[in-house]
């Protein structure tokens, strides 16, 4: 089962190995403090107007997308996300210094909306357990590492349900993971449906994601652990490995990273290795 590893004080030398087992690292005292205007902006709830599920910030272009919030709130939010991007990167460096040569920073997001009660399609419903895999952004085996922080101002916990381990999840859903017809991945890449070419690995991961979210009986019965993350807490997890659902909560920050499979400390535990073993195919190389 997935463990929650609390980190307080000095960083344990095996923190990266814990992440790579699928465990969640929890920092109760992260040291990331919000300013008065940042707290007021979150409390006012203005960012959620307009409403995309996620407001995103791209550190490369300094652009915020997904909110119609006008200045000065917009600038307060942009500054908060820019600071969080740096904080999260420093935290990953501290947890896993060995990742640095293979670490790529992705988008930063702010998630203001309450999750409970939100209407959405089953495929987009993150209240159903899944491991992350996105139709338009193939990773070709790169890992998805995410750093979350609950920044709610009214004490609302962010409630997650996690589990079971990746191998059980994969074994359960592999028979139902749909394959693409020959030539489809090339067509997707050429027409811009995918940003880069979908590999066999990406296709299997998407198949698992969809099969898991569709299976309401499995959602209700698979071994699970419920975790509440309180305001001020930060947690880090490989969301391409650890089945997770976000059941309730609002106002979270999130920073995504892509980590090259070559810099893993235990490469045999990665989803790519597990799926290649279970399917008997080298999924990083297989084209679909
Ligand atoms: C998810 O990755 O499924 C959502 C996590 C969250 O927003 O807490
Ligand atoms: Fe997810």
Q: What tens digit of pLDDT does each residue of 222-279 get?
A: 999 999 999 999 999 999 999 999 999 999 999 999 999 999 999 999 999 999 999 9
Using most ligand atoms within 8 A of CB, pick from 26, 66, 111 the residue to mutate for ligand 1. Answer: 111
198 lines ligand 1 (CB under 6 A): no
- DSSP code per residue over 109-160: EEE-S--TT----TTT-TTS-B----TT---TT-EEEEEEEE--SS-PPEEE
What pLDDT score was predicted for residue 218?
Answer: 98
256 lines ligand 1 (CB under 6 A): no
Q: Show me where the domains of the chain are located.
A: 17-279
Task: Give the CATH number of domain 17-279; options: 2.60.120, 1.10.1740, 3.40.190, 3.20.14.
Answer: 2.60.120
What pLDDT score was predicted for residue 245?
Answer: 98
The alpha carbon dihedral of 66, 69, 71, 76 has a sign of negative
Nearest-CA residue for ligand 1 atom 8 is 246
Low-confidence ranges of the chain (pLDDT < 70): 49-52, 287-288
Q: Residue 29 Cα, ligand 1 centroid: separation in angstroms? A: 21
Report the distance separating Cα 251 and Cα 154, nearest Å: 10
Alpha-carbon torsion angle 123, 250, 41, 237, nearest 10: -80
Q: Residue 71 Cα, ligand 2 centroid: separation in angstroms? A: 30
Which of 172, 150, 120, 159 lies closest to 245, judged by CA?
159
Indicate the pTM of the whole model: 0.96
239 lines ligand 1 (CB under 6 A): yes
246 lines ligand 1 (CB under 6 A): yes
What pLDDT score was predicted for residue 50?
Answer: 62
What pLDDT score was predicted for residue 187?
Answer: 85
What pLDDT score was predicted for residue 229?
Answer: 98
């Amino acid at each position: 089962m997935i463990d929650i590893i609390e980190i307080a004080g000095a960083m344990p030398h095996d923190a990266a190995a814990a992440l790579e087992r699928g465990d969640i690292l929890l920092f109760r005292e992260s040291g990331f403090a919000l300013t008065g205007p940042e707290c007021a902006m979150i409390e006012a709830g203005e960012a959620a107007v307009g409403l995309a599920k996620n407001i995103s910030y791209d550190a490369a272009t300094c652009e915020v997308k997904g909110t119609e919030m006008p200045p000065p709130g917009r600038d307060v939010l942009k500054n908060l996300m820019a600071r969080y991007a740096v904080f999260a990167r420093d935290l990953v460096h501290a947890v896993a210094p060995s990742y640095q040569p293979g670490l790529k920073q992705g988008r930063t997001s702010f998630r203001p909306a309450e999750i409970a009660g939100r209407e959405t399609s089953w495929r987009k419903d993150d209240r159903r357990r899944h491991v992350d895999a996105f139709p338009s952004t193939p990773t070709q085996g790169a890992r998805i590492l995410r750093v979350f922080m609950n920044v709610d101002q009214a004490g609302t916990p962010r409630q997650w349900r996690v589990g079971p381990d990746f191998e059980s999840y994969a074994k359960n859903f592999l028979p139902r993971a749909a394959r693409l017809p020959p030539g489809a991945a090339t067509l997707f890449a050429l027409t811009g449906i995918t940003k880069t070419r979908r590999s066999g690995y990406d296709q299997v991961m998407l198949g698992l994601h969809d099969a898991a979210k569709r299976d309401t009986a499995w959602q209700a019965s698979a071994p699970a652990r419920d975790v509440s993350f309180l305001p001020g807490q930060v947690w880090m997890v490989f969301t391409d490995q650890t089945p997770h659902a976000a059941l309730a909560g609002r106002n979270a920050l999130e920073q995504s990273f892509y980590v090259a499979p070559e810099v893993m400390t235990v490469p045999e535990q990665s989803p790519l290795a597990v799926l290649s073993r279970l399917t008997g195919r080298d999924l990083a190389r297989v084209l679909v």
